[in-house]
Structures are given as C-alpha cells and as structure tokens.
Structure 1
C-alpha cells in the first residue's frame, strides 16, 4: 500500500490559483486534484493518456476541436488519447476537480512541454 498525504503531496502551481496535486497512482494510472480560479483556462493540448475529469466544486467547461460540455458538481467527461482539448473554469467561483490519466503521467507533461 502507498499512502499520499494531501498536505505533503507533490504539487505544481504554474499560475496563481491554478494548482495541481499528485494523488496516489501508478504507471498504469494517475490521479491529480486540481483547482482553477474563475476564467482560467488551460491551453489547447493533447496527450497520449486517456483522461477522465470529475468536478468536485464549481463549474468547468471542457472544449474539444468539435464540441464543448459544461460540467457541474459530480459530473464527468472522458477524453480519448490524443483528443485535443482545453479545460476552463467558466463559473464565478473556484473550481475543483480530479483528473484520472491512463496510462499514468507526471507533471513533466506541463513542465517540459514546448508551447
């Protein structure tokens, strides 16, 4: 068993109010808790990992090249590997969600990426 204490977990905070926290996971899958301030959007991107996003608080809109869906508390969406997307907090309050990636990945996806 591998325990992750949230307060001691690896974090990545590229911008004020946008924070990701690495939860328990493995090479097969990873869980990341994240928060976004109102109006914040990730850039359009894709990756080799399938991704499930589950909203815990607030409102998040996920945009793909062809569609969009707005998620509220406990709603979820599944993105296929290599599906271009961006995630935006379109609500008036902080948004909190969990991302699940398969296969697993680390924060190097964001820290080592070229714009």
Structure 2
C-alpha cells in the first residue's frame, strides 16, 4: 500500500489559478486532482494516454475539434489516446476535477511541453 496524503502530494500550477496535484498511481494509471478558476481553459492538446475527466465540483466543458460536453458534479467523459481536447471552467465558481490517465504519466507532460 502506498498512501498519498493530499497536503504532501506533488503539485504544481501550470498557470495562475490552475493547480494540479498528483495522487496515488503507477506506470499503468495515474490520478491528477485539479482546480480551475472561472473562465480558465487548458490549451488544445493531445497525449498518448487515455483520459477520464471527472467533475467533482462546479462545471467543466471538455471540447474536442468535433464536439463539446459540459460536465456537472459527478459527470465524466472518456478521451481516447491522441484525441485533441481542452478542458474549460465554463461556470461561475471554482471547478474541481479528477483526471485519470492510462498508462500513467508524470507532470513532465506539462512542465516539459513545447507550445
């Protein structure tokens, strides 16, 4: 067993107000808790990992080149490997979500990303 206390987990803030926290995971899967202020959107991006995005609080809109879905509390969406997408807080309050990635990944995806 490998517990990860939230206050001791690896975290970073890729942009002002957009915080990500690495929760328990492995090379096979990883969990990233995140919060986004109203109006914040990640840039369009893709990655080799399949991703499930779960909305824990507020409202998150997940958009691909062809579609968009708005998630409310406890809603989720599956993004396939290499499916280009962005996640935006389209609500009026702080949004909190959980991303699950398979295979697992590290924060290097964002910290070493080239625009």
Shorter-chain TM-score category? over 0.9
- Separation (CA, whole Å) in 2 of partners of 1:103 and 1:97: 19
Query: How many Å apart are 1:15 and its aligned residue?
Result: 1.7
Q: How does 1:1-115 map to 2 (within 5 A)?
A: 1-115=1-115
- Separation (CA, whole Å) in 2 of partners of 1:60 and 1:32: 15
Ranges in structure 2 where 5+ consecutive residues have no aligned partner: none
Give me the TM-score of the superposition, normalised by structure 2. Answer: 0.99
Query: How many Å apart are 1:92 and its aligned residue?
Result: 0.2
4+ residue stretches of structure 1 with deviation over 3 A? none
Give per-residue Cα distances to partners, 1:18-40, cap 9 Å, x unaligned.
00000000000000000000000
Number of matched residues? 115
Query: How many Å apart are 1:47 and its aligned residue?
Result: 0.1
Ranges in structure 1 where 5+ consecutive residues have no aligned partner: none
Give per-residue Cα distances to partners, 1:68-110, cap 9 Å, x unaligned.
0000000000000000000000000000000000000000000
Per the alignment, in what secondary structure is the counterpart of residue 110 of structure 1? Answer: helix
Give per-residue Cα distances to partners, 1:35-55, cap 9 Å, x unaligned.
000000000000000000110
Query: How many Å apart are 1:16 and its aligned residue?
Result: 1.9
Query: What value does the CA root-mean-square deviation take over the aligned residues?
Result: 0.4
